[in-house]
Amino acid sequence: MLGVRQLALDGVLEILPQKHGDARGFFCETWSKATFAAAGIDLDFVQDNHSLSSCAGTLRGLHYQCPPCAQAKLVRVVHGAIFDVAVDIRLGSPSFAQWVGIEVSSALGNQLLVPRGFAHGFITLHANTEVIYKVDAAYSKEHDRAIRYDDPAIGVSWPVKSETLHLSGKDRDAPLLAEIDTGFSYP
């Protein structure tokens, strides 16, 4: 059984796989094409990515790939916890520049589905957090983009003080949403 919860932005879903546990631990099916399709989620994932963030307060994002190499992502945490964020970047969308965020953790066993047309980012809540995510299009360096994590027009409320963040140069120097054409339009 797969639990699916629609979040505040259309298409952004919290996925709750069923855990089967006993004294030995647990088993859980994190992806099944047939089970997800039965829940109305029909994606063809082509690549898995795995990141380790050594420090709590590591922020990665807001990232996306522009068309024609746009990606949907299914994000889960195998160790630790993140505050995971999706931002609608589809020009003309009723929710353009709005965001939604939830905690995704190994303890909760939940996942976040980020559809195409949304930027994605997360901040680690614990040291040595490991994130695995599936994508439905391969990585393309020429289509890889970022938006400033602290863009005031978006206003993400990250749960860590900005002066304690661990950021890459790419994320620190990313442009504001108003300065770019994301390549996405609504519908």
Catalytic residue numbers read 63, 133
Nearest to 105 by CA among 86, 123, 85, 80: 80
Measure the CA–CA gap between 91 and 25, rounded to whole angstroms: 46
Measure the CA–CA gap between 3 and 10, rounded to whole angstroms: 17
Give the bridge partners for 122, in sequence order.
60, 84
How many CB atoms are closer than 10 A to CB 164? 9
Measure the CA–CA gap between 165 and 181, rounded to whole angstroms: 27
Distances (CA, A) of 97 to 17, 18, 100, 118, 168: 29, 33, 10, 9, 23
Measure the CA–CA gap between 17 and 108, rounded to whole angstroms: 10
Which residue type occupies 142? Answer: E
70: left (phi over 0), alpha (psi -120 to 50) or beta: beta
Pairing of strands 19-22, 25-28: antiparallel
